[in-house]
Amino acid sequence: MALEALSDRECVICRELTKTFEEFLSGRLSDFAGRDLELLGEVTVVIGPGKPARSSEAAVREALAEASRDGGRPKDVARKALSRLSGWTLKEVYAMMVPHWSD
């Protein structure tokens, strides 16, 4: 169920936390899909965050335009724009910006 609802993420299954026989199983949700673990006692499941949605190219261009208003070196502008975006690398943002820098 969690795999279908949340996509494949890192997770840890913890049994009997803070007790003598505590146990930890870690992996990805897909590692545990369809397995009958038969865990007895108190169980806590910790599921890691998913990947953030990638910002659109239009959002990148808007962030670059706003960041470049103050001027500065191209890499600094790209870093400033990147702070508002998700799913993009500095290299990708910089490459999008540099061909238009002299305009």
pLDDT string in tens for the chain (103-residue length) = 788 888 899 999 999 999 998 999 999 999 998 888 888 899 999 999 887 778 888 888 888 888 888 888 888 888 888 878 878 888 888 888 766 554 4
- Tell me, yes or no, whether 52 lies in a domain: no
CA-based end-to-end distance of the chain: 52
The count of structural domains within the chain is 2
Please tell me the predicted confidence (pLDDT) of residue 6.
87
Together in a domain, 40 and 11: yes
Together in a domain, 39 and 61: no
Please tell me the predicted confidence (pLDDT) of residue 102.
47
**Parent domain of 30:** 2-47
- Tell me, yes or no, whether 9 lies in a domain: yes
Contact 8, 31 (CB under 8 A): no
Residue 69 CB contacts under 8 Å (≥ 6 apart), including other chains: none
Together in a domain, 43 and 67: no
Please tell me the predicted confidence (pLDDT) of residue 103.
47
- Tell me, yes or no, whether 66 lies in a domain: yes
Together in a domain, 41 and 9: yes
Please tell me the predicted confidence (pLDDT) of residue 24.
94
- Tell me, yes or no, whether 86 lies in a domain: yes
Using the 8-state DSSP alphabet, how is residue 89 labeled?
A: -
